[in-house]
Amino acid sequence: MTNPSTTLPLEPYPQELFDAVIAAIPKWIEGRVVGIAAAELGTCPDGLRASLTAVSSATVSLVSENLAELLRLDVDAQQSNPLHVLRSSTVIATQALRDASITPVRRDEFETRAMPNDVYAIGPLTWRDLGEDVHEAGITWGAWKAAVVLSRRRDEGKIS
């Protein structure tokens, strides 16, 4: 059965962000896994490389469901943001790296605080980490969301 949260249409700007993110995930997640393994070993082990399609597909599924759910919420009800969804989606790639016995990477204080379970620093810090298309869609979505919130607050008389 198809999950209704991923089949119902989104508003145009959230839909553009959703589409850009989903299209970027395979290149992003596979590139991060290969890069992390190669940084330690000089190459990506064959077994890990063979698992990349499954890792990518599972990550796309996880993000699709969670991002659609978030973007479908009214902007005033959103308690998280799309980058948080992406940062939380690294669990599958993390397990693949652990299974390949890759050593966790050294992370800075911000990364450790913001993404405590992302021991390989896979998660994106900015939209640009997923590419220019995602960066542009993320900035546009953020501006749209801010405009919606400001318009509502003006209508409520809370700002002038």
pLDDT-based confidence at 8, cuts 50/70/90?
Answer: low
* Residue 132 forms part of a structural domain: yes
Tell me which of 153 and 2 has the higher pLDDT: 153
pLDDT-based confidence at 39, cuts 50/70/90?
Answer: very high
3-class DSSP assignment, residue 91: helix
Alpha carbons within 13 angstroms on the beta-carbon side of residue 19 total 11
For 15-109, strand residue ranges (E) read none
* Residue 43 forms part of a structural domain: yes
How crowded is residue 132: how many other Cβ atoms within 10 Å of its Cβ? 11
* Residue 160 forms part of a structural domain: no
Number of domains in the chain: 1
Is-contact 21 135, C-beta < 8 A? no
Give me 86's structure tokens. Answer: 């992406």
Q: What integer pLDDT is reported at residue 1 of this predicted model? A: 38
3-class DSSP assignment, residue 2: coil
Does pLDDT of 108 surpass 50? yes
Which range marks the domain in which residue 17 is found?
8-155
Record the pTM.
0.89
